[in-house]
Amino acid sequence: MSLWKPLFKSQPAWHSAHFECVLGTSMELGLLAESPKFGQRAEWAVLNEIERLEKIFNAYRPDSELQRWQQTLNQAVPASADLAEVLHTAELWRVETRGAFQPAVEAFTRLWKQAEGAGSTPAANDLDAVIHMLRGPLWTVDMNARVACRHIDLPVTLNAIAKGYILDRACEVGAGQRGIRAAMVNIGGDIRHMGDSPIMTAVADPFSPQENARPLATLLIKNQGLATSGGYRRGFQVGEQWRSHLIDPRTGQPVRHTVSVTAVAENAMLADILTTAFSIMEPCESMMLCDGLPETAVLIVAKDGSQTATGQWHRLAS
């Protein structure tokens, strides 16, 4: 979870608005506008863009483009530019992280939800069956022809990437409106900023249940995305054991070593991907991958409270 505030109080003024039930959570919008009129127009444009993309990526709406595409199998079907880009990027990062980032992890989530109701862990053969299905590509996307072919009959939510993509597009729309000099969109603690006026963000302490507790860290971000992922507030109660909702798709088991991961990257989609993958991977693996991602800042908090951070994180922290 992350909070934000403008770094400087200046004219033109920040136009701020708060909304509930946006992508299933709350949203804060900040626009550095030359006038209230420009701020209001940009606010409408942001809300319209989020509504447009929600109709594409919502995994719980039977009429969404994602859900309609999931009714196909081994068929190259037309895909919107937005869906094609997200599917293409998701597959690239599945390969890059050697399966730690896995859009079809929902199959494991459903097994663990059933286990919660039964009071016993999922059967090993059920987990192994899903692991076997996830060894190959989930789909192929032809970006030129803009068609996507689904190869496995497993549920996909795209939650670990689509939210960041929507943040990026919504922020771009807001920042691109007339009379707007900077824009910030915060949906459920994940943030995207664009403009010359930086903002200060605060990252919540995963070990503190109070929302107004002292933050774990404060960061200065500018033209970047920030995301946090953690299994400290959501999960499964299986018998007497609490299990994280974050599941390692390579084993089918809930993650035990990581409490939270926060990433700052060039955009919110990449930050979203990295926090999910790094919640699964060992910290040393994550740091090695970060070495090839310039200007990417990551903080990993382990279950024992120890922290692993990139050099860029320390440079951004205030």
What are the sequence ranges of the domains in the chain? 2-59+161-316, 65-150
pTM: 0.92
Q: Please give the mean pLDDT across all residues of the chain.
A: 90
pLDDT category at 317 given cuts 50, 70, 90 is confident
Closest by CA position to 233, among listed 204, 213, 253: 204
Q: Which three-class secondary structure state does DSSP give residue 302?
A: strand
pLDDT at position 8: 46
pLDDT category at 240 given cuts 50, 70, 90 is low
Region 194-207: what's the mean pLDDT?
Answer: 88
Q: Do domains 2-59+161-316 and 65-150 have the same CATH topology?
A: no
Task: Please state which of the ranges 3-17, 43-57, 228-242, 263-277 shows the lowest mean pLDDT.
Answer: 3-17
Q: Which long-range contacts (CB under 8 A, 24 or more apart) does 133-137 make?
A: 133/104, 133/107, 134/99, 134/102, 134/104, 134/107, 134/249, 137/91
Contact 28, 16 (CB under 8 A): yes
Region 35-64: what's the mean pLDDT?
Answer: 95
Q: Which three-class secondary structure state does DSSP give residue 291?
A: coil
Q: Is the pLDDT of residue 55 over 90?
A: yes
- CA-CA distance, 275 to 203, in Å (whole number)? 13
Q: Is the pLDDT of residue 138 over 50?
A: yes
Task: Please state which of the ranges 3-7, 132-136, 167-171 shows the lowest mean pLDDT.
Answer: 3-7
Radius of gyration of the chain from Cα atoms? 20
2-59+161-316: in CATH 3.10.520.10? yes
Q: Which three-class secondary structure state does DSSP give residue 38?
A: helix
What architecture is the 65-150 domain classified under in CATH? Orthogonal Bundle (1.10)
Region 97-123: what's the mean pLDDT?
Answer: 89
